[in-house]
Amino acid sequence: MERDLFREALLGVMERKRHWAWSGFTSGVVPRARLHHHLEQEYATYVRDFPVLLGRAYVQCPIAAVRRELAENLYEEETGGLVAGRPHPELFLEYPAGLGMDLRRFEHVELIAGARAYREWLDEATQARGWEVAAAVTTLFLEGTQHERGELDERAPRRPTPPLAEHPLVRHYGLPLERLALTKAHRAVEGEHRAAAWRVLLSYVDAERRRPVVEAMERTLGRWLLYRDDVARVCGLERGDDGRPRLRARTGESPR
């Protein structure tokens, strides 16, 4: 696969990293009493262990220049030593803590079916498919957004950065601004992390390895969409006839 085709294929995957239910979370449609399901599943599926997933790419890679890129990312995620001052998974817990949730729930999260399948694939992708797939899945898919083209082309829209006071958890659920430490850290480092991810993938993945990387990214997207379907369900959302999320008429059923 030629480099330009590889780039476009990766961008094509990332531009489909959007889910019909997301506006239900960003506009306050999800009931406050069910929001914990979303945070718990995100934390246990990949946030808590993101440094481990990223580390798997690092230890498999034989290219020193790539390892240096991955090591800087890993160091910040695991320790916060460059920007955040605390490990990023620990900072994530500021969200539920600021919303008054019981943090003991986050110690033993039971993954719902879609989350379990997604995490099983993340483990396979980062352990058994080579460093190239592991790097793509972690640094591009997990850390990236549908606005990746804006990281490569100044004419394309970049990832939005609205004022912190407009953060959905602040605006709709009353999260105190001081609990947005992770959001602030991401804004401080993500520009370089995005650039590093694209440098690694476009400069160091050999031509014969590009197609397997794209195939793995497609599979990751598919598993992610099914995972987000399940999260929407347990949070009480369904897809309306207009394609937008709405609350189910009955939300009293067990979320498991």
For the chain, what is the domain count?
1
pLDDT digits (tens, 9 = 90+) for 5-56: 999 999 999 999 999 999 999 999 999 999 999 999 999 999 999 999 999 9
Q: What is the pLDDT of residues 210-249, one digit of tens each?
A: 999 999 999 999 999 999 999 999 999 999 999 999 999 7
User: Is 87 inside a domain boundary?
Assistant: yes
Q: Which domain holds residue 166?
A: 3-240
pLDDT computed for residue 251 by the predictor:
43
Does a structural domain hold residue 248? no
Q: What gap in Å lies between CA 20 and CA 23, rounded to an integer?
A: 7
Within a domain: residue 253?
no
Q: Indicate whether 256 belongs to any domain.
A: no
Domain assignment present for 250: no
Does residue 245 lie within any of the structural domains?
no
Q: Would 247 be classed as within a structural domain?
A: no
Q: Give the predicted TM-score (pTM) of the model.
A: 0.94
Residue 110: CATH number of its domain = 1.20.910.10
In this structure, is residue 252 part of a structural domain?
Answer: no
